[in-house]
A and B are shown apart, each in its own frame.
Chain A
């Protein structure tokens, strides 16, 4: 009997702790959802219970967001920026990761760590000179400045990620291809790349999410509404004077958050082994 009580208590405290963590992490997102679906009179009435609808839910904020603001434009901007950065990153990081894993021996190892360390160089250190470089190139206030600058952290990140993957790949596959008459380059193109599709997909997903998460460079380089990526647009452009459009802001934040959240959950384990894999024996 006593044991049963002790077990129940243990279970209750365990699930209580789990519930605490879930509420802590998920509540702001629940708050986005409920705010975005509430009508304004309901939203701005302090006597209402805020956790649920006191008036009928409405899609008014979403309609306003899509029809009266540049939200769709920001979505498209982010998509274009993301795709271009993914392309640049793959072209640079795929051969670099392979080379550092297979072709450059011991110096490759040091070079790999060097490249990875540049991932740690913070944007708040580089934004001043980069904004001048961007201006000199005539890209000021244009989303193409972000396409130019974002690879500075996605290339190091993906090179490191792919290097770890290539190291784990059996070398016999390329050797067989070379024996069969492929050049080293041919073996890379015809054997290595098709076989590393899972790693390439991981690199693509994380490059894309890193571009969506970035805020500092976007804030520094871009001030005109039409050029903003979605994160910057939602966070800074839905305020008119002193009035915050909370319903619209939360709707936009929610829409922009969902794809990143899904991507992270699907690829989380690969991300972790990617950033820690090469660094820890």
Chain B
């Protein structure tokens, strides 16, 4: 009992005192677990991935034989890879554009207070919050070749005939459209939230001043608000582009890259080659193709906002 009651101040300064009180030492100590974790499980694997891509490593023959850029040369010559690369760009660009447009309109709607706005916002956030793998299987069921609710509605409305009902995931062009729409569907709530966060952070008097000066709705939107929210929108877009460009789950669950590679994207191709077929070195080379492109996109966007700020 007495031990517990003893006041803290009476405690002799411990030998650890010099660590516990030195700001810089403790600071380094505090940050090291996080840095170590990231270095060991992001940095090291990243270097390993680079090494795989220039070696002849497969799960059947785990040799570390150095082959230089041979893997890259081989995959570039593969027409499937070229198609995959084109698909990835189309998939990323189209779904981000669609997501941004939907996001901008959605944000305009949610900006104004109206009864039930909270509930509407909660429902609109759903696609982004819910695990994409689960939403993707719901879409797969909605695109079903036989029981598609979309086809049923189109037939019931008299837009198409039962005999010409589209096989959404079986037709190469429609399948691409489907994965783009599902990905845009997943990202536009995020775009809405980003737009809203940006717009509400603009001081009201700036907008009032513009209105007094005679700026109309469009002018206010595109010459006052848009430039001011550009940095935050760019950050959002970086997230969107990076996670779409490297995505695997939507394509894996909806189309398996098919029909005949029509929807194959880099992430999916890397998975198929590196994990499913066990050709680790070629899989790693395919995955690494994402890196320079992503790097350029991110740097470009960051420079773009910096220039706007000055």
Binding site for A on B (CB under 8 A): 8-9, 17, 19-24, 26-31, 33-35, 37-38, 41-42, 44-46, 48-49, 52, 102, 105-106, 109, 112, 114, 120-139, 141-142, 146-147, 149, 152, 185, 189, 193-194, 197, 231-232, 235-236, 238-239, 242-243, 245-249, 252-253, 266-267, 270-271, 274-275, 280, 283-284, 287-288, 290-291, 294, 298
Q: Tell me, rounded to whole Å, the shortest Cβ–Cβ distance linking B222 to chain A.
A: 19
Contact residues of A between 154 and 172, Cβ < 8 Å to B = 155-156, 159
Contact residues of A between 249 and 281, Cβ < 8 Å to B = 249-250, 253, 256-257, 260-261, 263-265, 268, 272-273, 275-276, 279-281
What residues on B are CB-neighbors of A261 within 8 Å? Answer: 122, 125-126, 129-130
Tell me whether B33 and A257 are in contact (CB under 8 A).
no
Tell me whether A31 and B287 are in contact (CB under 8 A).
no
Q: Tell me, rounded to whole Å, the shortest Cβ–Cβ distance linking B284 to chain A.
A: 5
Contact check: which of B30, B138, B189 meets A32 at CB < 8 Å?
B138
Tell me whether B249 and A215 are in contact (CB under 8 A).
yes
Q: Which residue of A lies closest to B27 (CB)?
A: A103
Residue A232 is within 8 A (CB to CB) of chain B in the complex: yes
Tell me whether B30 and A148 are in contact (CB under 8 A).
no
Query: What 1/0 mask marks residues of chain A from 25 to 45 whose CB sits below 8 Å from any chain B CB?
Result: 110110110010000000110
Q: Which residue of B lies closest to A88 (CB)?
A: B37
User: Chain B binding site: helix, strand, loop or mixed by DSSP?
Assistant: helix
Ordered by A's residue number, 20 sampled pairs between the chains whose C-beta atoms are within 8 Å are A21-B124, A25-B126, A31-B141, A96-B31, A100-B31, A103-B26, A104-B24, A122-B246, A125-B287, A126-B49, A133-B45, A156-B34, A159-B34, A183-B17, A185-B21, A216-B248, A264-B129, A272-B197, A275-B239, A276-B197
Q: Tell me, rounded to whole Å, the shortest Cβ–Cβ distance linking B224 to chain A.
A: 18
Tell me whether A260 and B41 are in contact (CB under 8 A).
no
Tell me whether B126 and A124 are in contact (CB under 8 A).
no
Contact residues of A between 84 and 126, Cβ < 8 Å to B = 88, 91-93, 95-96, 98-100, 102-104, 108, 111, 115, 118, 120-126
Contact status of A256 and B134, CB under 8 A, knowing A29-B126, A50-B149, A103-B26: yes
Tell me whether A186 and B20 are in contact (CB under 8 A).
yes
Tell me whether A128 and B52 are in contact (CB under 8 A).
yes
Contact check: which of A18, A44, A99 meets B120 at CB < 8 Å?
A18
Q: Tell me, rounded to whole Å, the shortest Cβ–Cβ distance linking B177 to chain A.
A: 16
Complex-state Cα separation, A43 to B149, whole angstroms: 11
Q: Which residue of B lies closest to A269 (CB)?
A: B197
Tell me whether B266 and A124 are in contact (CB under 8 A).
yes
Residue A24 is within 8 A (CB to CB) of chain B in the complex: yes
Tell me whether B48 and A129 are in contact (CB under 8 A).
yes
Tell me whether A280 and B231 are in contact (CB under 8 A).
yes
Tell me whether B142 and A279 are in contact (CB under 8 A).
no
What residues on A are CB-neighbors of B197 within 8 Å? Answer: 272-273, 276
Q: Which residue of B lies closest to A182 (CB)?
A: B8
Contact status of A124 and B134, CB under 8 A, knowing A99-B27, A261-B126: no
What residues on A are CB-neighbors of B27 within 8 Å? Answer: 99, 102-104, 108
